[in-house]
Structure 1
Amino acid sequence: MAQIKTHFGSPRWQHATTSPEQYYAQCGRIWQDVDTLQQALTLNAFSQALTELNGFYAVVQQQPGKLFAAVDHIRSIPLFYGQRDATVFLSDEAEWVRQQVGDEVMDDLAREEFQLTGYVTGPDTLFPNVKQLQAGECLMITEHSNAPTVETQRYYRFLHTEPQDYDKALLEDQLDRIAVASIQRLIDHADGRQIVVPLSGGYDSRLIVSLLKRLGYENILTFTYGVPGNKESRYSKRVADALGLRWHFVEYSNELWRQAWESEARWQYQKWGSGWTSVAVVQDWLAVKIMKEKSVIDSDAVFVPGHGGFVAGSHIPDAAFTGEALDLDDVCHALFQGHYNLAPADLFTTQVSSWKTRIKEKAEATEIKTAWQYADAYEKWEWQERQAKFICNSVRVYEFFGYDWWMPLWDKEFVDFWQDVPLALRKHKAWCIGYIKKSYNEQATDKIENLGNASKSPIAHIKKKASKIPFARKAYSCIKLKKQNQHPLALYGRHDEKEHKSLIEKGVSIVGLNAHDFLNHPENKDKS
């Protein structure tokens, strides 16, 4: 007999019985009325209802013989599913699904992709029979006499239009209105609770705190971390001081990282936070751990990272602005160069051509005729893969320690706005940066125009480019080896210098070392 079994491990899930024969479960926050969602009887109706929602959520609706499920437009709360014989399993915990379907060995291709990118693309995970809902995707499971069927449908994609003409001043007014509205929804969600902002040297977190200041929210804590005197922390403190915000610094060292890395808690976080899909981000795991232990943060605090600035065009390749003819192969090449680089691809059995074919399949683009279509295809792939599975998945850090979170720059209305902004205004994110500087200067006492992004320095950009060139890789790796003890976040303290020397010499990046350690953890050795 066909069956559907569910398991929700997070206490954030809320269950509401809508009738004796139906239940509705929601994790996260939806702003609109969900009656239409609950009344949907077909996958198309369920998908259509989802297009009207804003918020950060995952939902499950079960009816007799049928189940609907969905994640939001950025997969902020993942859902996983798998099938074994006549039973389909659905859960917010990938490990539970793995155990139910009986997968014991990781897929070889998925392991290689995980090591190269930090995540597994498409609906796949490290295990062949454990699948995931992609960003902006929903599913319907239907019970039949012999076996259930699983259908998926994308109700949202991050796609652009290119307007023939536009009014720059009107667009800026619209941007300001929508940005303020997204921060107001954050304020409504926080409802007086402490808002904790990881304030980097970048622009995105600066926009969040500037608008919070403008709207008069007072219960704000900003923080940063790293070795004393690192550039990001200097920028961060300067911004916080200029806005009159409380600022906290968490000091990192190689020894602190070594102790944390060897702890069972670190592994439990990485295992759970990965969802068997991506490298669980650990950069600020140590900072949150220390701040919680020292009671720096309120127990009901809401963490608000600056994820989402990507939508303004910061990752569009320069090739889109050169005027040269571009096609789908150029998109695939740029995506491979930009994302399959945590380790040299020539260390693995899969050929570069095969990776580009896999990229093309996930890109879902048929032809590229214009520069904006090239940029659109590139950003669409990055949105559903790197942004959804790696960057935004970093909010698992806050959940692991029992905290709430919100990502105002991934607010659906804010994202929708950027889908209609012309390519010329998205080049290098320059137009958005101008808006951020203006918003900051309106609230700050320290009006410094050249207070830029510390993580985007010209030297850092050159180093990143050099690390991808085969003949320069070894020389660059030698520099990295000499500077392991000088990393601004002391991240190399997580890894044994002798054990990882050969990997660094081969060109494996710091995130690549993290992926390597995860895949080769003693608990995963028998799964390879």
Structure 2
Amino acid sequence: MQTALCHDGWTRADGVAVRGRAFENDRLLEDDVLAARFSEIRESDAPLEAVASVAADLEGFFAAVLEDGDATYLVADGARSVPLYYGTGGPVSDRGRLVREALEAPTDPITESEFLLTRYVTGPETIWSEVYATQPGEVVRIGGDGIERRTYRDYWPTGPDDDAGSVGDSSDHGARLESALETALDRLERVAGDRPVVVPLSGGYDSRLLASALVDRGREVIGFTFGRSGHPDVEVSREIAARLGIPWKFCDYDESTWREWYRGPPGRRYEREAFGGDALPFLAEWPAVRELVADGRLPTDALYCPGHTVATPSERLPRFVGERRRSEPSSVGCGPAVDADDEVDSADDRERIVPSLEALTDYVLERHYALWEWDDPTFEDAARERIRRGLRGDRDPDAIADRASAAAAYERWEWRGRMATFTNGDLRVYEDAGLEWWLPLWDPVYVRAWERVPLEARRGKGLHADLARERYRRAADVPDERAGLTDRTLSPADRHLALVRHSPVRQFTERGGDWMPPFLAPRSAWSEPGSHPLSWYGIVDDDVLEELPAFRNLYALRTLAATGRLDLEDASGPIPDGSTIRLPTADE
């Protein structure tokens, strides 16, 4: 089978192509050594099982393509950090569009509808018919007899329901999680060598945990953020870096500059190459990374470590009937202002649901299929079946029978459906700038530890957030109150103090010569183009904005643009006249 692997990080040897790094026991495998490890399966009588067995022994972030006789095998790590695309009779590629063009594949109305409503496609499909993507922890065999898939590593939390009184000392769980973090950081340091580690430092807990733990180890750490000075995410990030004593780089965003970034040749190329047909290209930090690297403010020889974490799917867990009412910490934040359009409300503000497959399906459909309002019975039936498949995987429907299993099913769905496609798409940002990356908080050892955390301690990333606060308090020597500060808990007084903390000189230098007051718009106004903390509505032409209805979520507009339903630069084309969309399935 033809391969069209475009990234220059692939190593090819003896019919095997690999990319990335992995640990086997305490041994770090990369390049030719990693390729040789997969080559060992050639003499196996059951090559699919042999490939899955090799992959299951590896812990890291990698992908592999193996040619063995008449069959081709594709391997994705447990985080699906390096996507591969394929189809029957087409090439294998790390760019979905190349497979689609080779097969001349039309769009699929069901998966295209899902993309329009969520900004990603769940499962192995893409928006193009018969074009597929590898899934987390999966091996795919493509042969003359068709396609066969095998999951060798799944995500299914097994922590007990502590409302049932089955949980021991919470300090035991915290100690195990911290021990797993230390192992993950040991691996990170081996990958980084003597290079600095760059962390996209947000106002949340994830990146704070990474930066604090690395500073505690004496590592050279550089933080960066982006957006508008005065935005709470930026100001908390600035404070964290200052208290940790690490360099902090900032890229200011404004609408006119966004227009130049997005519409120029680099932006057009990035959008085309990063769109694999299964998730909207990650955009928030793309210009910041490019600008800060181009200006020499961030090094090219560093290891870049986003704070994406196994704990994130726990943020939107529903509350189940019969649970006690508790407060949750505000722990959003793997990257600065990345999901400013996405509110993560407290689970105690939500209606309790029955811990069942159908109730979870309703919850996912209402919460996640919501970029547009819609009414399409054909798609609703198909979407429900896709959600059920994502919730239970290969398990029987009756495997979801209590609160613990229902929570596990939801977290599995969110990881495989949302994070492994859309969120991990932010790694393409670093690749576009020629940078190396690593995901320490998705290291399998940290994943296994988090899977064992009791349900209530997972909610709102609770135990993970506790660990982040404690490691930051320890590394920065700050009082508990400041250790727990996030972009969502920054007080109005703190925000207004930005006017004092930022002298006119600092404002002038941060903004490249233009002085402006700090960004002080309240969160309730962030949906308005001129008041968004990323200013990224600048990619939309003013005339198009004028014609659009009040409903202006940029993710929703970009899904229309990606499928050819809206030209962000031309108001003479079709413009939605409300918040309701007609899905392509309605025409079938």
TM-score bracket for this pair, using the shorter chain length: 0.7 to 0.9
User: Match of 2:63?
Assistant: 58
Cα deviation code 1:108-156 (max 9, x no counterpart): 22222111111112111111021111111111233xxxx4532111111
1:422-501 correspondence to structure 2 within 5 Å: 422-450=454-482, 451-455=484-488, 483-500=528-545
> Of 344, 349, 358, which aligns to 2:373?
344
1:174-193 correspondence to structure 2 within 5 Å: 174-193=176-195
**1:123/1:131 contact within 8 Å kept:** yes
**1:125/1:276 contact within 8 Å kept:** yes
Cα deviation code 1:173-231 (max 9, x no counterpart): 2211110111221121111223211101000000000110111112x211111112111
**1:481/1:504 contact within 8 Å kept:** no
| CA gap 1:83/1:409 in 2 versus in 1, 3 angstroms | same
Distance 2:201 2:239 in 1: 10
Distance 2:259 2:488 in 1: 24
| CA gap 1:199/1:230 in 2 versus in 1, 3 angstroms | same
> Could you tell me how far 1:395 is from its partner in structure 2?
0.7
1:17-416 correspondence to structure 2 within 5 Å: 17=14, 23-32=15-24, 37-40=38-41, 41=44, 42-84=47-89, 88-103=90-105, 105-142=106-143, 147-163=144-160, 164-218=166-220, 220-310=221-311, 313-319=314-320, 322=323, 325-346=354-375, 350-364=378-392, 365=395, 366-367=397-398, 368-416=400-448
> Could you tell me how far 1:13 is from its partner in structure 2?
0.5
Q: Which moved more, 1:482-491 or 1:438-447?
A: 482-491
Distance 1:271 1:481 in 2: 28
Cα deviation code 1:338-382 (max 9, x no counterpart): 211122233x67543442232113323513221111111111111
Paired residue secondary structure (1:58): strand
**1:343/1:508 contact within 8 Å kept:** no
Distance 1:246 1:445 in 2: 18
> Of 537, 558, 563, which aligns to 1:514?
558
Paired residue secondary structure (1:150): strand
> Could you tell me how far 1:248 is from its partner in structure 2?
1.0
Distance 1:263 1:321 in 2: 54
> Could you tell me how far 1:457 is from its partner in structure 2?
8.0
Q: TM-score when scaled to structure 2?
A: 0.78
Distance 1:512 1:480 in 2: 18
**2:526/2:532 contact within 8 Å kept:** no
Runs of 4+ in 1 over 6 A off after TM superposition: 456-459
> Could you tell me how far 1:293 is from its partner in structure 2?
2.2
Paired residue secondary structure (1:83): coil
| CA gap 1:82/1:351 in 2 versus in 1, 3 angstroms | closer
| CA gap 1:309/1:136 in 2 versus in 1, 3 angstroms | closer
User: Match of 2:500?
Assistant: none
Q: TM-score when scaled to structure 1?
A: 0.86
Which residue type is aligned with residue 287 of structure 2?
L
Distance 1:291 1:151 in 2: 43
Distance 1:401 1:154 in 2: 32
| CA gap 1:97/1:351 in 2 versus in 1, 3 angstroms | closer
Q: Which moved more, 1:116-125 or 1:336-345?
A: 336-345
| CA gap 1:331/1:389 in 2 versus in 1, 3 angstroms | same
Distance 2:321 2:92 in 1: 41
Give the root-mean-square deviation of aligned CA atoms.
2.5
Which residue type is aligned with residue 89 of structure 1?
P
Distance 1:427 1:127 in 2: 36
Q: Which moved more, 1:422-431 or 1:131-140?
A: 422-431
Distance 2:480 2:319 in 1: 28
**2:310/2:450 contact within 8 Å kept:** no
**1:57/1:77 contact within 8 Å kept:** yes
Q: Number of matched residues?
A: 487
Cα deviation code 1:407-448 (max 9, x no counterpart): 111111101111111112112222221121111111104334
Distance 1:152 1:424 in 2: 34
Distance 2:186 2:118 in 1: 35
| CA gap 1:70/1:162 in 2 versus in 1, 3 angstroms | same
> Could you tell me how far 1:159 is from its partner in structure 2?
0.6
| CA gap 1:349/1:370 in 2 versus in 1, 3 angstroms | closer
| CA gap 1:322/1:188 in 2 versus in 1, 3 angstroms | same
Distance 2:405 2:526 in 1: 41
> Could you tell me how far 1:498 is from its partner in structure 2?
3.9
Which residue type is aligned with residue 493 of structure 1?
G
Which residue type is aligned with residue 235 of structure 1?
V
